[in-house]
Amino acid sequence: MNKGEGAYSQVEKGTNLISNTGESLESITSEINKMVSRIEKVTSSLVNIKTSNEQISSSIQQVASIAEETSAGIEETAAATEIQNVLMEGISKSTESLSLLAENLIGTVSKFKLI
């Protein structure tokens, strides 16, 4: 083998290496693009999850607010019921007193004779 053939062989090997390197770089670029696409999908999913979590949090806060309002309403109703019970006891005692007065009045009136 002479020097010319050796040089040609070296050039051919170098060309093949460059070609293989180019193909490898294209393959790597393709895989990187696929990874970027997957990362974008994951990012989109995470944004959707975050939005859903914010909506759930807002709903929970609304439910808590309603529960507080309901609790306050129940406390007000309980207080009003207590006041009504006290008033009913007073009315009951007044009715008993009025009934005794009526009985006494009937007894007193029955002692008089009508002419």
Give the span between the Cα atoms of 52 and 60, in whole angstroms.
Answer: 12
pTM above 0.75, yes or no: no
Sorted by where each begins, the domain ranges of the chain are 1-115
> Is pLDDT above 70 for 115?
no
Residue with tokens 């406390």: 75
Which residue in this structure is represented by tokens 């009025």?
A: 98
Q: What is the mean pLDDT of the chain?
A: 90
Of residues 4 and 45, more confidence is placed in 45
Residue 3: what pLDDT?
66
Q: Which element (helix H / strand E) includes 112?
A: none
Q: What is the SS3 assignment for 32-80?
A: HHHHHHHHHHHHHHHHHHHHHHHHHHHHHHHHHHHHHHHHHHHHHHHHH
User: Which of 4-13, 61-70, 74-83, 87-96 shows the lowest mean pLDDT across its residues?
Assistant: 4-13
Q: What is the mean pLDDT of residues 70-92?
A: 95
Share above pLDDT 90 across residues of the chain, in percent, rounded to a whole number: 70
Instruction: List the one residue out of 24, 43, 45, 23 whose CA is nearest residue 35.
Output: 43
